[in-house]
Structure 1
Amino acid sequence: MNIGEIGVGSALAFAAMGSALGAGTAGMAAVGAWKKAFIQNKPAPFLLIAFVGAPLTQTIYGLILMNALAAAAAAGADPWLLIGAGIPGGIAMGFSAWYQGKAGAVASDALAETGKGFGNYLLVLGLVETVALFVMVFMLGLVG
């Protein structure tokens, strides 16, 4: 085994941890918002699912990076390059997912309470998502 393979697996693992934290956080807020709607006999907005599911894409980005790192490892890339791209890349994508979930939680509460602003809230989630996309693209460029 090549020590660089730690970086390969870490890309996916850290991104997925962030997705779990983000989706869990947004999910808890969505459930709370739905509960409030049910108590008030108001329709529960199904659109909150978009906020809950948004952090899951970072797991896909982690998988893409992991596959690129695995190919680089098979081609004999420097193990420190694999560690240096996989661990911080996965962590950065994970934090993006986690904070996207936090933003989704606040968006869930706001949309359920007001019924307005879905597009604005989605734009915020998209901006947070951009961090993960940048990290993935830059790390892919780093490993060639």
Structure 2
Amino acid sequence: MEVEMMKALAMAGGYAAIGLAAMGSAMGTGIGGSAAIGAWKKCYQQDKPAPFLLIALAGAPLSQTIYGMILMILIKGKMADNPAAWPLYLTIGVLGGLGLMFSAWYQGKAAAGGCNAFGETNQGFANYLMVLGIVETTAIFALVFALLAM
């Protein structure tokens, strides 16, 4: 196989990492954002102030896109040294990206619950954020394990 083709396949892994992570972030922020909007609507209907902190909950899944970008940059750097290892980089990019995607997606689902609860009670924000941190940990694990595999 030509070196250029090996480099292209390795970079496909890098692009898969950021692409899949970004898809998960889009799904997660969409879910969390929808719940934030619904919680704000309830607050407006009850003439209560709409809590701005819901933005922090709804935006939590965005960090996985950053992790995907880090993985892409590191795959690109490693690929320059050893393009013959393209199957490894492609596999790491796809599987690491899927790990990031699912983490962001489910973090958005957890954020939706937090938005609903905080919007109604105006209490427990730190607890909801801790739960999102637990889900975030899976993304960090996916990134670290991918880096160790390289």
Return the TM-score normalized by structure 2: 0.93
> What is the match of residue 34 of structure 1?
40
Q: Deviation string for 1:12-40 (max 9, x for gaps)?
A: 00001000000010000000100110011
Task: Report what 2:25 is aligned to.
Answer: 19
Q: Which moved more, 1:69-78 or 1:86-95?
A: 69-78
Task: Select 2:95's aligned residue among 80, 88, 92.
Answer: 88
Residue 51 of structure 2 corresponds to 45
**Counterpart among 97, 116, 138 of residue 104 in structure 2:** 97
Unpaired runs of at least 5, structure 1:
none
1:116 aligns with 2:129: no
One-letter amino acid of the structure 2 residue matched with residue 129 of structure 1: E
User: Could you report, residue by residue, the CA deviation over 1:32-66 in whole angstroms, capped at 9, with x for unpaired residues?
Assistant: 10011001100001010011110000000000000
CA distance in 2, matches of 1:4, 1:33: 44
Instruction: Give the C-alpha shift of residue 141 in structure 1.
Output: 1.5
2:81 and 2:59 map into 1 onto residues whose CA distance is 35
Aligned equivalents of 2:129, 2:14: Cα separation in 1: 31
Q: Percent identity?
A: 52
SS of residue in 1 equivalent to 2:51 = coil
- How many residues in Structure 1 have an aligned counterpart in Structure 2? 143
Consecutive unaligned residues in structure 2, runs of 5 or more: none
In the superposition, the TM-score normalised over structure 1's length comes to 0.97
